[in-house]
């Protein structure tokens, strides 16, 4: 009898695709902001714009 618990390998392509979408934003490629809060805000903005473009448009 087979083991009922399935083990899935992590899907690396999902992470790489997401990172490549974020690389479209020049401001995130080189970290110019000195404060971590500003950088994280730009990351969140880039993620929001990416989701907006992929889902809504």
Q: Encode pLDDT of 14-45 as tens digits.
A: 888 888 888 888 888 888 888 999 999 999 99
Distance CA 8, CA 18 (A): 20
Q: How far is CA 45 from the centre of its chain?
A: 11
Residue 8 lies in a domain: no
**What is the SS3 assignment for 56?**
helix
Q: How many domains does the chain have?
A: 1
pTM comes to 0.67
Residue 39 lies in a domain: yes
Residue 46 lies in a domain: yes
DSSP string, 4-35: SS------HHHHHHHHHHHTTSHHHHTT--SS
User: Count of CB atoms within 10 A of residue 7's CB?
Assistant: 5
């Amino acid at each position: 009898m087979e083991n009922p618990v399935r083990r899935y390998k992590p899907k690396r392509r999902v992470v790489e695709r997401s990172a490549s979408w974020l690389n479209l934003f020049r401001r995130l490629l080189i970290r110019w902001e000195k404060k971590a809060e500003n950088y994280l805000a730009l990351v969140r903005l880039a993620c929001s714009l990416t989701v907006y473009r992929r889902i809504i448009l």
